[in-house]
Chains A and B, each alone.
Chain A
């Protein structure tokens, strides 16, 4: 382990290996010709087998930047910013064709597409650069609005969810201002990328809707005509490539997805679309085979099922207003939210609880079950915190609800109960955004409901669901924790100095268990404002008789010296190995990594998620900003009081952060200790049960 860490420190342009890395490709990368100068990181990552970073040329740049080990400054990114556009575009073009199939096809297609339409590759790539910078630094968002066409290209090609979500506000802006032509023009690139994308996860476009909305009138008519023609000539049998491709236009305009890879033949498409007018192409080939069409429809249905609904973006006023109407709680949105986090929900603190309390006895179709209501209250007041506790509380509430449930007349249990659970979940979300672990548990429950046989009686169905919930809690949480403790304890040796951050219940169990086994070690508890959760952990550990040191995160770099192991909990582990956890975890992990201390993340596999996230911006939770303003027990610290009146001040209280996989030495799960790169394997192998949305 020591040697590995040493080696990692040296690597400069870091390559992120996510998912399965075949040894061949790993070997091949260093052998690939390294272009000189500014573009150096770009090709390396474009070549990487990661399914995550394929489509966007410049996102890899950001990832390489953010995964660079701590002390190393990052000149490449600066150079990218500073360099003239012509210089940047040159290596792209010159390098890509000589690269692997993946990179070349993508690069060339995009280039040809761009050149055909706009004839200005440099500006496009400049836009690309600015996007990458924006997502890296998350500051220069305004740069995006300048070159809309370029961005729309990048966006439609980008299937990386996080890349889009990295700069959500600007993304939307780009969508609104970009012309329909630009989008159509970019379709070929999409399809090529999709064909290349190995991981179906990459196909999830977070926002297909705007694409659909932005089709121009002429295009819609064209699509409609094509469909009508297809219906008329339904009996005709033919496998005309162009016609299929035409069908693909319709599909891809609706939602970009990896369907086109099934049809293949991507090299023909640029030719079809180069004339920009789908009307023409539909006139040319009106005949579409019926079986193809139906198959397509079916596949589209499947796709819709697979693609999760786009997450609620709270800067979308219409949708927020709609959601408000449906929710039980009256919510007043906080006014001065931080611009970058405007897409996250944040409500004025203190307005939700009274409104919820006043509704306590009201009879309302929206009114949740008493147990769920209670849990919602406890979420709202932060009386239940922590991924496991919240998840168990929710499941127990649902258990009560199912116990009291009786199917209304003229309804089926499966559908009605699913709808009921949906409404309860949305109630819980209004109390506090649900965690990823809870999302997984909800999915599990819904899958179980959906897979109930129709013939089974209501009593039996309820009974089996309750048993399933109990089993989930037992197996996925309780036993999993025990297994994690067993695994982790083996890593604690006499004389160790263990460091932890915040208060993780698994880590606490590990420490206590190791202590009971008679191991001699010390614990450093690192805490952070404003919640100071570490204090509770510290008190309990001291109560057990452990030897502890307590410090705040400001002193992390000092406290880390002499530490031999870092144990951290996690809210979730994402499929690229990113650990999504209580804010401050990334900082601790980074310091530990810089000082060569192994970082162990303790996380049950039910918290794993297929999502890929590169930063903590796109998906996070905002805490109460006032919590930062007041210091408990210090009445003299009041300089920030009344901050809400100031237009110029935005107080940001983030709840979670994302720790890149590079800082994580090992993830301790109930299935064993795995490197962060193996998370997709666990997700694939141990989640055979299909989830139904």
Chain B
């Protein structure tokens, strides 16, 4: 049989992210950035696999990156998943990337997943919500990392210096099923502008600041194609496409005013010109030919944009900045989320690979992870940190709240706090790093001290 339940999956794996600048490089595209010692893309692929979605299209920005990602996927998932890797040019928007693979989409609905999601949300529920409402768009929302953002909101008024966290402003109807408004926090300067016509249609709207768009969407394929072809100006899914669709639904008055019974509106017997009562059938069940005439024609299928709000117990976050990268890495080993990585947890609540060698009087605290083949010297202390594979760490090293990727050499007496250290980095003796990001292959000289810096090799070298 063809695609299951007539859903196709597009994974937008991205390429080089500017936000994650020192961490990603030509060698390590964003999709392969290790999170909990595994590439971030693997979380998405495994989520899809767990949901029995095995035919995927992975879109990667940049030819080189595509080759690397494709190579990794075939190596890791050979025989388990059927993945097509499509390369698009760099520096194009997500919607453009989607446009590039549009011709491969054939079935009713498309699930578009960002490649940097770490989550355990049941995809079936999103798809079911999408189908149930016969929606044009279903976006998954999850509660944003609440505590930090709540503080951020309150504090942004006072000190502008602090970077405003990119929260989304989401407008929902009272039943929490329809998406009425969506703007990302970075776009909004001071005011949120909501058109009065929208309020006129829906009576009530709730504005949520505590929800985050998880960049996981289900689209109606026919309408998606039409919109993308007609409006070439749409560059980004989040910033252009979704708001466009959300705006369109109120334009055609498709939203049931405030209550959950969308059918109630659909069932209203229309009258056509001849005065004959038109049958309710056309409205209750859209006949197949009704989908095709086009989204922009008012008589066509009603547009509804829905949301699926992930339930409280589910984890969902994205690796889209250095801060979130650090958070996710910590979350990965922080107790409950370990199951996502599939590692077994020891009694000390940490994950130490059996092949790792640990010197005497070295302590690996709880919520830590040490990859295979790594060697730790004597009298080291590792707290709330992740140490990758085949790292060589000398004596008297302290690693706190940090991520150390693979093949890193750390010599004696180093202190690493709150930092991310990429692969093949060499820290010479008694280097002191605090809140730094160190790009791949960088060499930190002995006795140097860095604070809140992004260190990386010149790209030319």
B partners with A:
yes
A473 to B269, CA, bound (A): 16
Q: Is the CB of B122 within 8 A of A505?
A: no
A527 to chain B, nearest CB (A): 13
**A359: Cβ under 8 A from any B Cβ:** yes
Q: Is the CB of B124 within 8 A of A360?
A: yes
Q: Is the CB of B267 within 8 A of A386?
A: yes
Given contacts A360-B123, A370-B131, 15 further A-B contacts (CB under 8 A): A359-B124, A360-B127, A360-B128, A370-B5, A374-B131, A374-B132, A383-B132, A383-B133, A383-B260, A388-B284, A478-B279, A481-B279, A482-B279, A536-B261, A540-B264
Q: Is the CB of B281 within 8 A of A361?
A: no
Task: Give chain A residues whose Cβ lies under 8 Å from the Cβ of B7.
Answer: 361
**A603: Cβ under 8 A from any B Cβ:** no
**B453: Cβ under 8 A from any A Cβ:** no
**Interfacial residues of chain A within 340-380, with CB under 8 A of chain B in the complex:** 354, 356-363, 370, 373-374, 377-378
Task: Give chain A residues whose Cβ lies under 8 Å from the Cβ of B269.
Answer: 505, 508-509, 512
B302 to chain A, nearest CB (A): 14
Q: Is the CB of A540 within 8 A of B268?
A: yes
Given A373, A393, A540, which contacts B284 in the complex, CB threshold below 8 Å? A393
Q: Is the CB of A358 within 8 A of B124?
A: yes
Given B108, B124, B277, which contacts A512 in the complex, CB threshold below 8 Å? B277
**B19: Cβ under 8 A from any A Cβ:** no
**A389: Cβ under 8 A from any B Cβ:** yes
Q: Is the CB of A485 within 8 A of B267?
A: no
Task: Give chain B residues whose Cβ lies under 8 Å from the Cβ of A473.
Answer: 281
**A516: Cβ under 8 A from any B Cβ:** yes
A508 to B7, CA, bound (A): 37
Given B53, B128, B277, which contacts A513 in the complex, CB threshold below 8 Å? B277
Task: Give chain A residues whose Cβ lies under 8 Å from the Cβ of B260.
Answer: 383
Q: Is the CB of A477 within 8 A of B281?
A: yes
A373 to B5, CA, bound (A): 9
**A334: Cβ under 8 A from any B Cβ:** no
A396 to B286, CA, bound (A): 9
Task: Give chain A residues whose Cβ lies under 8 Å from the Cβ of B6.
Answer: 370
0 or 1 for each of B119-153: is its CB under 8 Å from A? (1 = yes): 00011110111011110000000000000000000
**Interfacial residues of chain A within 475-511, with CB under 8 A of chain B in the complex:** 477-478, 481-482, 485, 503, 505, 508-509
The chain A residue sitting closest to B2, CB to CB, is A404
Given B52, B124, B134, which contacts A363 in the complex, CB threshold below 8 Å? B52
Known A373-B5, A383-B263; judge A361-B125 contact (CB<8 A): no
**A385: Cβ under 8 A from any B Cβ:** yes
The chain B residue sitting closest to A517, CB to CB, is B275
A671 to chain B, nearest CB (A): 19
Size class of A's contact patch? 35 or more
**A595: Cβ under 8 A from any B Cβ:** no
**A573: Cβ under 8 A from any B Cβ:** no
The chain B residue sitting closest to A477, CB to CB, is B281
B177 to chain A, nearest CB (A): 10
Task: Give chain A residues whose Cβ lies under 8 Å from the Cβ of B284.
Answer: 384, 388-389, 392-393
Task: Give chain B residues whose Cβ lies under 8 Å from the Cβ of A384.
Answer: 263, 284
Q: Is the CB of B133 within 8 A of A389?
A: no
Q: Is the CB of B259 within 8 A of A392?
A: no
Q: Is the CB of B4 within 8 A of A361?
A: yes
Task: Give chain B residues whose Cβ lies under 8 Å from the Cβ of A358.
Answer: 122, 124-125
Q: Is the CB of B53 within 8 A of A383?
A: no
Task: Give chain A residues whose Cβ lies under 8 Å from the Cβ of B280.
Answer: 388-389, 481, 505, 509
Task: Give chain A residues whose Cβ lies under 8 Å from the Cβ of B277.
Answer: 481-482, 485, 509, 512-513
A392 to B286, CA, bound (A): 11
A354 to B52, CA, bound (A): 17
Between-chain CB contacts (< 8 Å), 23 pairs: A354-B125, A357-B124, A357-B125, A357-B128, A357-B129, A358-B122, A360-B127, A361-B4, A361-B52, A361-B53, A361-B127, A363-B4, A374-B131, A377-B132, A383-B261, A383-B263, A389-B263, A396-B285, A508-B268, A508-B269, A513-B277, A536-B264, A540-B264
**B17: Cβ under 8 A from any A Cβ:** no
Q: Is the CB of B263 within 8 A of A385?
A: yes
B337 to chain A, nearest CB (A): 20
The chain A residue sitting closest to B5, CB to CB, is A370
0 or 1 for each of A380-407: is its CB under 8 Å from B? (1 = yes): 0101111011001100100000000000
Task: Give chain B residues whose Cβ lies under 8 Å from the Cβ of A361.
Answer: 4-5, 7, 51-53, 123-124, 127
**B276: Cβ under 8 A from any A Cβ:** yes
Task: Give chain A residues whose Cβ lies under 8 Å from the Cβ of B108.
Answer: 370
A380 to B271, CA, bound (A): 30
Task: Give chain A residues whose Cβ lies under 8 Å from the Cβ of B263.
Answer: 383-386, 389
Given B132, B264, B271, B276, which contacts A381 in the complex, CB threshold below 8 Å? B132
The chain B residue sitting closest to A394, CB to CB, is B285
B411 to chain A, nearest CB (A): 50
Known A482-B277, A485-B277; judge A373-B267 contact (CB<8 A): no
Give the 6 A-B residue pairs with the shortest CB-CB distance, closest first.
A360-B124, A357-B125, A536-B264, A478-B279, A357-B128, A361-B52
**B381: Cβ under 8 A from any A Cβ:** no
Task: Give chain B residues whose Cβ lies under 8 Å from the Cβ of A516.
Answer: 271, 275
The chain B residue sitting closest to A532, CB to CB, is B259
Task: Give chain B residues whose Cβ lies under 8 Å from the Cβ of A393.
Answer: 284-285
**B341: Cβ under 8 A from any A Cβ:** no
Size class of B's contact patch? 35 or more
A583 to B267, CA, bound (A): 21
Task: Give chain B residues whose Cβ lies under 8 Å from the Cβ of A508.
Answer: 268-269
A482 to chain B, nearest CB (A): 6
A278 to chain B, nearest CB (A): 56
A505 to B265, CA, bound (A): 11
Known A357-B122, A360-B124, A361-B127; judge A505-B267 contact (CB<8 A): yes
Q: Is the CB of A383 within 8 A of B262?
A: yes
A503 to B279, CA, bound (A): 17
B285 to chain A, nearest CB (A): 4
A360 to B50, CA, bound (A): 12
Task: Give chain B residues whose Cβ lies under 8 Å from the Cβ of A377.
Answer: 128, 131-132
Known A361-B7, A363-B52; judge A373-B268 contact (CB<8 A): no
0 or 1 for each of B368-408: is its CB under 8 Å from A? (1 = yes): 00000000000000000000000000000000000000000
Q: Is the CB of B259 within 8 A of A536?
A: yes
0 or 1 for each of B47-71: is its CB under 8 Å from A? (1 = yes): 0000111000000000000000000
The chain A residue sitting closest to B308, CB to CB, is A357
Task: Give chain A residues whose Cβ lies under 8 Å from the Cβ of B122.
Answer: 354, 357-358
Q: Is the CB of A478 within 8 A of B259?
A: no
A512 to B4, CA, bound (A): 43
A536 to B262, CA, bound (A): 10
B98 to chain A, nearest CB (A): 21
The chain B residue sitting closest to A384, CB to CB, is B263
Q: Is the CB of B281 within 8 A of A356?
A: no
Q: Is the CB of B281 within 8 A of A373?
A: no
Task: Give chain A residues whose Cβ lies under 8 Å from the Cβ of B134.
Answer: 374
Task: Give chain A residues whose Cβ lies under 8 Å from the Cβ of B279.
Answer: 477-478, 481-482
Task: Give chain B residues whose Cβ lies under 8 Å from the Cβ of A388.
Answer: 280, 284
Known A360-B5, A361-B5, A481-B279; judge A389-B127 contact (CB<8 A): no
B288 to chain A, nearest CB (A): 8
0 or 1 for each of B149-162: is its CB under 8 Å from A? (1 = yes): 00000000000000
0 or 1 for each of B243-279: is its CB under 8 Å from A? (1 = yes): 0000000000000010111111001110100011101
A478 to B133, CA, bound (A): 24
A641 to B102, CA, bound (A): 51
B122 to chain A, nearest CB (A): 5
B20 to chain A, nearest CB (A): 31
Task: Give chain B residues whose Cβ lies under 8 Å from the Cβ of A536.
Answer: 259, 261, 264
B16 to chain A, nearest CB (A): 32
Task: Give chain A residues whose Cβ lies under 8 Å from the Cβ of B259.
Answer: 535-536
The chain A residue sitting closest to B52, CB to CB, is A361
0 or 1 for each of B24-63: is its CB under 8 Å from A? (1 = yes): 0000000000000000000000000001110000000000
A435 to chain B, nearest CB (A): 15
The chain A residue sitting closest to B287, CB to CB, is A396
The chain A residue sitting closest to B282, CB to CB, is A478
A362 to B267, CA, bound (A): 32
